[in-house]
A and B are shown apart, each in its own frame.
Chain A
Amino acid sequence: MATQDLSAAEAAGLPARRLEAQSRRYGEKAIKAFLAACAVLSVITTTAILFSLLTPSIGFFQEVPLTEFFGSTQWFPSQAFFGVLPLVVGTLNVVLWSMVFAIPIGLGAAIYLSEYAPRRVRKVIKPVLEVLAGIPTVAIGFFGFYFLVPLLRDIWPGDFLGGPPGAYMAGAAALCVGLMIVPIISSISEDAMSSVPGGLREGAYALGASKMRVALRVVFPAALSGIVASIVLGISRAIGETMIVLMVAGNLANISLNPVEIVQAMTAYIGITATGDIATGTVEYDTIFAVGVLLFTMTLVMNLISIRFVRKFREVYE
């Protein structure tokens, strides 16, 4: 249209004229530029994170070859053993057991809230779960160390899994992390399940399906991408959780997936080293950044997967 008008005007030998405000409104443009700058700050943040992680890490990897970092199984930075595997396994130990706890509980809560709960019950339980999500992890870590571990030690059945736990225990940390993850899994999954159109449920009911069948065979698969997203995000949070693993799982590098044992997770290592008295600028101190790069990469992959799955269910039903 505009090009036609333009060519018509040009054909008549008149200067081209477009509909535009008289004032160019520089003020509006300045405001827009300011707003855009605020949005771009997020990109700068990411860049700054990468800068902070990579600059010291490059120095670290000049001293410690990548093959030793990823290949060796000993992690004693004070004695120049830099094999990161024990820390990765320590993180995996906590993440694995926390998911064993949080996935059934979180999904059970989501199915209950989305398919079964009367509206009044849901109105109470949803905010309460939100409160659980908002409890500082220091408080959960305190609970884990001073309540859960002693309790588990008291009720431990003999030498099950290799005896009663000591003062620190990966499994107790996993339970605490799981408790923190449950609201994340349940709220995103419930979102996905509630956005499954009612017609799908009604079709199944019309064919004679029971409520459980509808929940498990219709709603669950239809909401699967949202459910996967919630679980992946939960894993990402569990990998990155610091205070709980620092306080409950212990600080001893140990290659074990046994929940009874003491382990050191990557985040716990970063936390304990930063609060210790290792001189800055040494190779030992730079381990913080090398472990940080690995931690950032692991959570980044998880986050991108989760974002992708969330988009998928949003696209299908919204």
Chain B
Amino acid sequence: MSGESGPVSRRVKFAADGARSATLAALDRQPGGHVLRNRLFLGLLVIAVGIALVGLAAILIDAVAKGQGRLGFDLLTKSTSANAERAGFREAIVGTAFLMGLVILMAVPIGVSAAVYLEEFGSRERWWNRLIELNIQNLAAVPAVIYGILGLAFIARGPIGIGQVLFTGALTLTLLVLPTVIIASREAIRAVPPSIREGSLALGATQWQTIWRQVLPAAMPGILTGVILAVSRALGEAAPLLLLGAFTFVTFLPNVFEGGFTALPVLIYNYARRAQEGMPEVAAAGIIIMLAVLLLMNSFAIWLRNRFEQKW
């Protein structure tokens, strides 16, 4: 059982243990087999956790083992190249940085606004609010490659039609992470107790003043944590960008609205697919860079959560 059992449940537990041993004694049955089976079960559970942890460790160790020989600052300055000696990630890193910046600029205001609407205004009695909610839950689980099709047929071509440029990638990734941002922000907003709102409203603040000056500041750590986790998902996402032309070799720094672009995970895939000697090592080094950035972001999110988490 969980560690936080209060005195009452602890008393029940003692009573249960007592009753059990009394019953066993009365029936004169040895609890040996029982104990053994329980131990075996616990052993299996620990093995299950162990396999998951070993898998995680193996992914990390394998990447470091293969890529560490190639790791160096020159990867940041060397251009995209089919030659393993000269290959680097300059354009991909700049592309990913642009993408992430744009995703944050678009996804955060839109996502938080949608969350505020759903939590503070949208009554669940109305069918359209329930529809929006269901829709967001589904969108959160739509495969990334489908967002790529959306980007290709709706943003690059079709109604918006701005071509396969970096901004198309940013818009697609924004739509991809929006559901995650909305769901995380809603949870953070919901955790702010109603008494805060009631106090503010009772002092004569309007609903928006209450949200802007009380609810959002209080929910900010939770929202930021969710945003960082969502953005870190976008950072590693390659599948939708494959459909948006990011797979082609780009040897110039990207422009937001014209010309081709690439991104770190896509270039890693591109390098990994090349069989030439030395290429897998370059890809592995790219994975190390990507994982290091992700680890930094995740640690920052966890730090934020622990530093600013409020107990109401």
Whether A108 touches B44, Cβ cut-off 8 Å, given contacts A51-B154, A139-B291, A304-B138, is yes
Q: From residue B157, how far is it (CB to closest CB) to chain A in Å?
A: 8
Q: In this assembly, does B135 line the interface, its C-beta being within 8 Å of a C-beta of chain A?
A: yes
CB of A100 closer than 8 Å to a CB of B = no
Q: Which of A65-73, A82-90, A235-243 contacts B (4 or more CB under 8 A)?
A: A235-243
**A211 contacts across to B, CB distance below 8 A:** 38
Smallest CB separation, A41 vs chain B (Å):
6
How many interface residues does A have (CB within 8 Å)?
Answer: 101
Contact between A143 and B58 (Cβ–Cβ < 8 Å)?
A: yes
Docked Cα-Cα span, A53 to B17, in Å, equals 60
**Are the CB atoms of A109 and B145 closer together than 8 Å?**
no
Is A112 a contact partner of B144 (Cβ separation < 8 A)?
no
Shortest CB distance A191–B (Å): 12
Whether B238 sits at the interface, judged by CB under 8 Å, is yes
Check if A156 is an interface residue, CB within 8 A of chain B.
Answer: no
Contact B242–A274 (Cβ < 8 Å): yes
Per the 8 Å Cβ criterion, residues 176-221 of A in contact with B are 179, 182-183, 186, 194, 198, 201-202, 205-208, 210-212, 215-216
Q: Which A283-318 residues sit within 8 Å CB-CB of chain B? A: 288-289, 292, 295-296, 299-300, 302-304, 306-307
Known contacts A138-B287, A299-B143; is A186 also within 8 Å of B42 by CB?
no
Q: Which residues of B contact A289 (CB under 8 A)?
A: 149, 153
Contacts of A43 on B, CB cut-off 8 Å?
131-132, 135
- Determine if B66 is an interface residue (Cβ-Cβ < 8 Å): yes
Indicate if the CB atoms of A142 and B283 lie closer than 8 Å.
yes
Mask, B142-175, CB within 8 Å of A = 1, is 1111111110111000110000000000000001
Residues in B neighbouring A56, C-beta threshold 8 A: 153
Docked complex Cα distance between A137 and B287 (Å): 11
Contacts of B48 in A (CB 8 A): 104-109, 112
| Complexed CA–CA distance, A53 and B291 (Å) | 33
Contacting B at CB under 8 A, from A236-267, are 236-237, 239-243, 246-247, 267
Q: In the complex the two chains form, is B269's CB within 8 Å of A141's CB?
A: yes
A34 to B211 CA separation, bound complex (whole angstroms): 14
Is there an interface contact between B153 and A35, defined as CB atoms closer than 8 Å? no
Task: Answer whether residue A20 sits at the interface, using C-beta atoms and an 8 A cutoff.
Answer: no
Which residue of B is nearest A28, CB measured?
A: B208
Instruction: Verify if B127 is at the interface (C-beta below 8 Å from A).
Output: no
Name which residue of chain B comes closest to A27, CB basis. Answer: B208
Residue of B nearest to A216 (CB): B41
Chain A: minimal CB distance from B35 (Å): 8
Interface of B is mostly: helix
Determine chain A's interface SS by DSSP, over half rule: helix
Q: Which residue of B lies closest to A136 (CB)?
A: B236
Shortest CB distance B200–A (Å):
14
Q: Does B105 contact A (CB under 8 A)?
A: no
A142 B113 Cβ-Cβ under 8 A: no
Complex contact B272–A247 (CB within 8 A): yes
The interface stretch among B7-15, B79-87, B190-198 is B7-15
In the complex with contacts A142-B287, A274-B243, A205-B37 CB distance below 8 A: no
Most buried by B among A39, A109, A137: A39
A157 on interface, CB distance cutoff 8 Å: no
B110 contacts chain A at the CB level, 8 A cutoff: yes
| Closest chain B residue, CB of each to CB of A237 | B141
Contact A118 B12 (CB under 8 A): no
Contact A132 B149 (CB under 8 A): no
Across-interface contacts of B1 in A (CB, < 8 A): 115, 198, 201
Among A105, A112, A136, A215, contact of B265 (Cβ-Cβ < 8 Å): A136
Assess the A42–B269 pair: CB atoms within 8 A: no
A58 on interface, CB distance cutoff 8 Å: no
Q: Which of B70-78, B227-235, B253-261 contacts A (4 or more CB under 8 A)?
A: B227-235
List, in ascending order, chain A residues with CB within 8 A of B150's CB: 45, 48-49, 52
List B63-108 residues whose CB lies under 8 Å from chain A.
Answer: 63, 66
How far is it, in angstroms, between the C-alpha of A52 and the C-alpha of B159 when the chains are bound? 10
Question: Does A14 count as interface, using CB distance less than 8 angstroms?
Answer: no
**Whole-angstrom distance between the Cβ of A299 and the nearest chain B Cβ:** 6
23 contacts between A and B (CB under 8 A): A38-B111, A39-B114, A39-B122, A42-B139, A45-B150, A52-B149, A107-B48, A114-B2, A119-B4, A136-B265, A136-B294, A138-B236, A138-B290, A140-B59, A143-B62, A179-B56, A194-B2, A207-B19, A211-B38, A240-B145, A296-B146, A299-B141, A303-B141
Give chain A's interface residues, CB within 8 Å of chain B: 25, 27-28, 31-32, 34-36, 38-43, 45-46, 48-49, 51-53, 55-56, 104-109, 111-116, 118-119, 125, 127-132, 134-143, 145-147, 179, 182-183, 186, 194, 198, 201-202, 205-208, 210-212, 215-216, 233, 236-237, 239-243, 246-247, 267, 270-271, 274-275, 288-289, 292, 295-296, 299-300, 302-304, 306-307
20 A-B pairs besides A32-B117, A138-B238, A267-B143 with CB distance below 8 A are A28-B208, A35-B121, A36-B117, A49-B146, A49-B147, A52-B153, A108-B45, A114-B2, A115-B1, A134-B294, A136-B291, A139-B59, A139-B291, A141-B269, A179-B59, A183-B52, A205-B12, A216-B41, A296-B142, A306-B141
